[in-house]
Amino acid sequence: MSDVEDARPSEDAQETQPVQRPGKKGKYRRDKPWDTDDIDHWKIEEFKPTDNTAPFLEESSFATLFPKYREAYLREVWPMVTSALEQVGVACVLDLIEGSMTVKTTRKTWDPYIILKARDLIKLLARSVPYQQAIKVLQDGIACDIIKIGNILRNKERFVKRRQRLIGPNGNTLKAIELLTNCYVMVQGNTVSCMGPHKGLKEVRRIVIDCMKNIHPIYHIKELMIKRELAKDPKLAHESWDRFLPKFRKPSAPKQKKPLRKVKKSDRPLFPPTQAPRKEDLEIESGEYFLSKSQKDAARMEKKKEAQAENSQKRREEREKAFVAPVEKIEKKIKQEANETISIDDLKKKFQDQAAKKRKKAEDARTESAEDFLIKAPSKKKKQKTKYEVE
């Protein structure tokens, strides 16, 4: 027995040795000597023609429409677009009759993702982005996003004001957004076209949508400037930046509580208010309740006819008002009273006075004085210049 007891491990030894159980997480894990820390897993490797020598089995194509005012510009730059897409093995067609642009793969295409880049290129050209800027979307690491802002607001005036707020005075706000996000942003009509890295496109979309929802872009610009300064500090690389970022909250006025009206006991009525009479009670009081159905219908029709006759009489009176002659204003003439009489002597005297006045005026005109032949000195008063002399 002693030999058997010695063969068994002691309890202390069992506690010290950890039990290794095969778990699901580490079941298939193996050491990877080739995976070192200096490898950047997020790096986008360049896709070369040697990586895919065989042609595609199916042809992929995308088409988009463009407005009429872009036709002249597209005809001018289309040779450059064709040559740029031929270098990556993509064919393009400009249809001026339908007003559309089409891109499609060919047997020379080696990059399977380049057709999506070409689709973004024709979308940007249709949204008034210049060729020199839109052609950059074919590069690796640059994507595009077209943000629709036309259906966010219903009021047209409010939409125009907020869209102008996004651009800013002399385009300063838009320029600040481009510098902080490393993106190209263009506001055109009901859409906002932007190009750049994916991280910057995400920030631009958030700024644009918040601006249309009445949040000023300056708040996001301040936040991006603070984040840029915090990214320079390596100590804060693994810490939360929430304590450094400003928290802008829309001020909301507190709701004013209405003062409760306290009813005094003395104001309360002693008895509850009387109950309103029912319809049946009113009919019993008037005696209509005991009438038959035909009698009720006859009474109702009689009331209806009386109301119709009254209304027709009112309408007839209103129509007849148009034919009533308006009251004319009679000028009051001064009438001599009947009892007033004018004598012949008064008329004779009146005519003699008028003749004497005329005679006197004629005599005054014939008399000549010595002053009429003297040269009078000019007056010292300056003659005022008229409006036309001044001009």
Q: Domain residues of the chain, as ranges?
A: 47-140, 141-249
CA distance 125 to 131: 7
How far is the C-alpha of 266 from the C-alpha of 268, rounded, in Å? 6
Cut 0.75: pTM above it: no
Is 176 a residue whose pLDDT tops 50? yes
Average pLDDT over residues 296-301: 91
pLDDT of residue 327: 78
Residue 52: CA count within 13 A, CB half-sphere: 16
Does pLDDT of 185 surpass 90? yes
pLDDT score of 338:
45
- Give the confidence band of 43 by pLDDT, cuts at 50, 70, 90: confident
Q: Which residues are CB-neighbours of 107 under 8 A, at least 6 positions away? A: 55, 56
Q: Which residue has the higher pLDDT, 43 or 202?
A: 202
Out of 65-69, 196-200, 374-378, least confident range: 374-378
Looking at residue 15, its pLDDT comes to: 46
- Residue 18 above 60 pLDDT? no
State CA 117 to chain mean position distance. 32
Q: Which of 213, 206, 215 is nearest to 153 (CA)?
A: 213
CA–CA separation, 140 and 197 (whole Å):
9
H helix or E strand, kind and range, residue 78: helix 71-86
More confident residue, 136 or 384: 136
CA distance 379 to 376: 9
Q: Decide if 226 contacts 244 (C-beta within 8 A).
A: yes
Tens of pLDDT, residues 325-350: 887 776 655 555 444 556 788 888 88
| Interacting residues of 189 by C-beta distance below 8 A, sequence separation 6+ | 150
230 or 330, higher pLDDT: 230
**CB-based contact 174:166 (threshold 8 Å):** yes
pLDDT at 357: 86
**Mean pLDDT throughout 261-265?**
65
- Of 71, 57, 130, 80, nearest to 101 by C-alpha is 71
Predicted local distance difference test score (pLDDT) of residue 244: 85
Domains 47-140 and 141-249 agree in fold: yes
Residue 7 pLDDT greater than 50, yes or no: no
pLDDT at 240: 86
Q: What does the pLDDT read at residue 2?
A: 44
- Whole-number pLDDT of residue 288: 85
Say which range, 127-141, 177-191, 280-294, 367-381, has the weakest mean pLDDT.
367-381
Q: Please tell me the predicted confidence (pLDDT) of residue 289.
A: 87
Q: pLDDT at residue 30 above 70? A: yes
Closest by Cα among 312, 313, 311, 283 to 299 = 283
Enter the tokens of residue 282: 């009113």
Q: What is the mean pLDDT of residues 209-229?
A: 92
Question: Can you tell me the mean pLDDT for 11-29?
Answer: 56
d(CA 176, CA 125): 24
Name the nearest CA neighbour of 83 among 18, 131, 143: 131
Q: How confident is the model at residue 382 (pLDDT cuts 50, 70, 90)?
A: low
Q: What is the mean pLDDT of residues 228-239?
A: 87
Assigned CATH class of 141-249: alpha beta
Q: Is the pLDDT of residue 273 over 60?
A: yes
Sequence-distant (6+) residues with CB within 8 A of 174 are: 166, 167, 168, 185, 187
DSSP 8: S
Instruction: Quote the pLDDT of residue 5.
Output: 44
Mean pLDDT value of segment 260-289? 81
Angle between helix axes 172-181 and 198-212 (nearest 10 degrees) is: 150
pLDDT at 14: 46
Identify the CATH assignment for 47-140 out of 3.30.1370.10, 3.20.20.70, 3.40.50.1220, 3.40.1440.10: 3.30.1370.10
pLDDT at 71: 94
Alpha helices, DSSP H, located in the chain: 2-7, 11-16, 71-86, 114-126, 131-134, 156-167, 172-181, 198-212, 217-231, 279-286, 293-320, 344-366, 387-390
Number of helical H runs and strand E runs in the chain: 13, 6
User: Is residue 17 predicted with pLDDT exceeding 60?
Assistant: no
Query: What is the structure's pLDDT at 304?
Result: 94
